[in-house]
Structure formats: structure tokens, C-alpha cells
Amino acid sequence: MKKATLVQLATIALIVSFSVNVSHAGGDDFNSVVKMIEQYYNVKHEGLSFLAKAAIKTMGVGAKIKGGSARQLAEAGSIRLAMFEDQNFTGDFMKFRSSLNDSLQDNWTPLVQTISSENAEQSYIFVKENGDKFSVLIVMIEKREGTVVQATVSAKSLALLMKDPEEGAKTIREEATIVDKE
Amino acid sequence: MKSLFQQPPRTLLLVAFLVMVSAFTTRAQGPRIQLNNLDHLAAKASDTVDVTIDERLIQLAAKVFNEKDEDEAQIKKLVQGLKGIYVKSFEFDVDNGYAATDVDLIRAQLREPTWMRILNVTSKKEGNVEVYLSMSGNDITGLAVLSVEPRELTVVNIVGPVDLEKLTRLEGNLGIPDLGVEAPKKKKNEQ
């Protein structure tokens, strides 16, 4: 078998495993949050094809990290991503915030939560210990789009996030969702 | 002696009321102040920031901050012994987007003998900044900053051994906004 074919097969396997991981990890907080957003705002997150694209993109970031240009997710164990694009996020954000906090309070510690009613933007960062690493769950909702990112990060990345929570969350989200800039 | 259940209903009601009052005052008298009663302001505010760094996260911070990084080493040192950092900040598009009663709810918790106001800066242009220390004997057990501007209301509550100097060093880190509070100048013999 040619080397190029092997690489292609390996890529497909990685994409499939990533997508399956994102789509079928039933009963966990990431999926619960995605479902909660879907039910609360009556929206739908992107399907398999988009997730595959996201997987490629994530691998792209990984490659970039190896090259040494991006560092925040370098030590990350896994990234799970759900995106909502071009959809309508209208609803009482106070009720949403309360539901989100209630659903995560047993396992996660809220770090920072921001709401801008003027721009209809909400961001939530939750943290928990995960062995010798840490998990962060970031929910960002704007007027027409939303993102849920769960990432396992190293102590170094967590330190960055805690030093400047808003900037750190932005970095993690941007690195997990760079698609067209690559 | 009659047991509690044999008491007339009025006495039981009185006991229940006293227990509730005592529970509330006990909670309000500690170095952790209740900020949840400001949550309703988020619906009126143009921007809301809510930072919760509890003891678990502080311990994490102490663990993850790198001693070799000058900046992180300093934060690590500063957060040692702290039990929580809580920030709520609301920005409004119009003047007085919050009511005086909202501010009073916070001030009511910052009363003597537990709390002592150590700084009160009033500026017509920039509003009012009040800094309070919670004391237990000679030990500082917490700090609270209440910043009241016509279009902004910010409350910072740090639980644990903290003083003004520590606060000024923590400003801009760990979600603590830059409050513009100046640390007291050291006397010559302290330097």
C-alpha cells in the first residue's frame, strides 16, 4: 500500500474517532451542555461533516504546535468541540445561566462568567481537576453563533487561564476553532 | 421540662424565626459576603462579569503557577492562604442602573465589629470606592471593595489573610479588576 494512502486512512480513522468521541460520549457534561443549549434556544449544533472539518482543523493546530508557533493547547490531551452557526440565540440569559450552573455544579467549578446584554454575548468558563491535568469547559454564546469547548489542559495552560480568564478562554476557543485562517 | 415539640405553636414559630435570623447573621458576619442578591442586576446591565475563585481553585492556582516565572511566582505567593476571590461587576448604559438598596444590601453586611472600613474615596467624577477589612482579633480574615460609579457597580470580596498591598498587587490578575486602589505608603523605618 502506498504511503500516501496509509496517511489518508490514518487521517480518516482519526477524524472518525474524534467525531464518534464528540457525538456519542453519552451521559457526560459536555453532551449535556450541548443538549441543554439545543433545547433552551431551539438550535442545532453542526453535524458530522462539520465535526470532521473541525477534526482536521484541530490536527492542523496540532501540527502547528509541533512547529512551535502555537503553544496553549500543546499539552492538551483532548479537545471536544460543538459549534452552532448562523442560528438564533434569543432567550432569557439569566434563566440560561442559572440552568447551566445548576447542571454543572456537582462536577465543575465556575471560574468566570460574563454577560453582555448589549451584544447578546455570554461566556462561561468552568474548571475541574482531571488526574494530573485539568479540564476546562467553555461555553460562548453570541447573537447568531455558539461554541462549546471542553479541553484537557496542562497546569501551564490552566495558569494562563486563571491569570487572565477572559483572554485565556478566548485563546482556547480561537485555537480550537481556527478553520479558514489555516 | 417540656420538649421542643410540646411547646405551643407560637413559641415554635419564634424559635424557628430566631434560628433563621441567627443563621443569616452568622453567614453575613464572616469574611465571605453574599453577592448573589446582586444577580438580578445582570438583566439590566450592559455588561456583567462574575468571577468565582473558591478555595479549591486557589489551591489549584498555587499548584499550577510556575515558581520560575517571576509574574506567576508572585501571584502564587500572594494567593497562599487565601480561601476565595469573588468578583461581581455590572456596567450600565445609563446612570443609576442599580438602586441604592442594591448597594445597601452589600454595605449592610460590611458592618462592625467584623468589618472595618479602612478607605473611602469619593470622587464626583469617578464615584466612590470603599475598602473594608474583616478582622478576627488581630488577624485579617478578608477584604471587600465596593466601587460605586454612576454607571458601574463592582464588588470584590477576598477571603483570607489579605491587605491593601496584596490587593493592589493582585489587581489585573485572577479576574480582579483594576480598581485604582493605592497601597498605603510604607514608613521609612519599614522599608
DSSP state string for A112-171: EEEEETTTTEEEEEEEEEETTEEEEEEEEE-SS-EEEEEEEE-HHHHHHHHHSHHHHHHH
Q: Which whole number is the average pLDDT over B50-59?
A: 87
**A93-104 vs A29-41: helix crossing angle, rounded to 10:** 160
CA dist B39 to A36, A45, A127, B34, B142, Å? 22, 29, 21, 11, 22
Q: Which residues of B touch A132 (CB under 8 A)?
A: none
- How wide is the angle at C-alpha A101 spanned by C-alphas A93 and A27, nearest 5°? 115
Of residues B57, B75, B173, nearest to A127 (C-beta):
B57
**Beta-carbon separation of B66 and A159 below 8 A:** yes
**Beta-carbon separation of A118 and B53 below 8 A:** no
Question: Over 60: is that where the pLDDT of B143 sits?
Answer: yes
Closest residue in chain B to residue A158, using alpha carbons only? B64
Q: How far does the CA of residue B151 sit from the closest CA of chain A (Å)?
A: 14
Q: Which residues of A touch B89 (CB under 8 A)?
A: none
Residue B169 pLDDT: 82
Closest residue in chain A to residue B63, using alpha carbons only? A155
B97-115 per-position pLDDT tens digit = 999 999 999 999 999 888 9
pTM above 0.80, yes or no: no
Q: What is the CA radius of gyration of chain A?
A: 16
B73-99 per-position pLDDT tens digit = 888 888 888 999 999 999 999 998 999
Q: Which residues of A touch B97 (CB under 8 A)?
A: none
Query: Which residue type, as a one-letter code, is found at position B70?
Result: E
Q: How far does the CA of residue A46 sit from the closest CA of chain B (Å)?
A: 29
Question: Over 80: is that where the pLDDT of A98 sits?
Answer: yes
User: A119 and A110 in contact (C-beta within 8 Å)?
Assistant: no
Of residues A115, A118, A163, nearest to B173 (C-beta):
A163
**Beta-carbon separation of B57 and A94 below 8 A:** no
**Beta-carbon separation of A158 and B72 below 8 A:** no
Looking at this predicted complex, what is its ipTM?
0.71
A109 touching B (Cβ < 8 Å): yes
Q: Using 50, 70 and 90 to split pLDDT, how confident is the model at B133?
A: very high
Q: Which residues of A touch B75 (CB under 8 A)?
A: 163
Closest residue in chain B to residue A124, using alpha carbons only? B50
Query: Which residue type, as a one-letter code, is found at position A89?
Result: F
Q: How far does the CA of residue B9 sit from the closest CA of chain A (Å)?
A: 36
Judging by beta carbons within 10 Å of its beta carbon (0-12, 13-18, 19+), is residue A67 exposed, middle or buried?
exposed
**Beta-carbon separation of A165 and B51 below 8 A:** yes
Counting Cα atoms < 13 Å in the Cβ hemisphere of B163 gives 7
Q: What is the CA radius of gyration of chain B?
A: 20
Q: Which whole number is the average pLDDT over A14-37?
A: 62
Chains A and B: how many Cβ contacts under 8 Å?
Answer: 79
Find the range with the poorest average confidence among A141-155, A168-182, B38-52, B66-80: A168-182
Of residues B39, B51, B93, nearest to A112 (C-beta):
B51
Q: Which whole number is the average pLDDT over A34-41?
A: 94
Provide the 3-class DSSP secondary structure of residue B186: coil
Touching B: A residues 123-182, CB under 8 Å: 127, 129, 134, 155-156, 158-159, 162-166
